[in-house]
Structure 1
C-alpha cells in the first residue's frame, strides 16, 4: 500500500470520480510495470502546492553551472576590458598634464 501511495504522488488520476475504477486499474498496470522493469524517482512537491510532477529532471546541475558560469566570466572579462580602457585614458591624460608642467 505504501508503494501505491508513493506511486500516486507521481501519477495523475482525474478528479472526476466517474471512471475511478478504470483509472485505478490503469495505475495498477503502470505500477506493476515499474515494479518489474525499473526503479524510478519523480520530482514533486510533497506540500501539495504544485499541480504537476516531473518524471525526469530537464537540466542537471552541471548544465545549470555552465549556463551561469560562462556568462558571468564573459561579463567580468568585459568589465575588465572597460576598466583597462578607462585606466589607459586616465594615464594618458595624467602623462599629458605632467608634460605640460615640465615645459
Structure 2
C-alpha cells in the first residue's frame, strides 16, 4: 500500500508539513477530509495525537487507516482541515475522482 504521507515526513521532519500548509482553503479540501475520516481502521495507537504546532492533544484516538490502496494516520485529516495541508497530487486527484463517482 502507498502511504498518503510518511510519519517521518509529517512528525519528525516538521519542515515538510510547514512547506505543505497554506493560509487558504483549496478546492476539494472538505471532500478529502471526509474521505480520510471514513477510512477503515487497521490499527490503534496507545495514545492520542498532538498538534505539532501547538502541542495540544487532538481530540481523537490515534489510528492507522486505509482504503485498500493508501494508508494514513487518522490525524492527517486534522491537518488538512485545520491547516490546509496539501497532500500529494496523486492522492488528492484519486480521492476527488473517486468522490465524483
Query: Whose radius of gyration is greater, 1 or 2?
Result: 1
The structure with the largest helix share of the pair is 1
Please give the TM-score of this superposition, normalised by the length of structure 2.
Answer: 0.26
Higher relative contact order (Cα pairs below 8 Å, separated by 6+ residues): 2
The structure with the largest strand share of the pair is 2
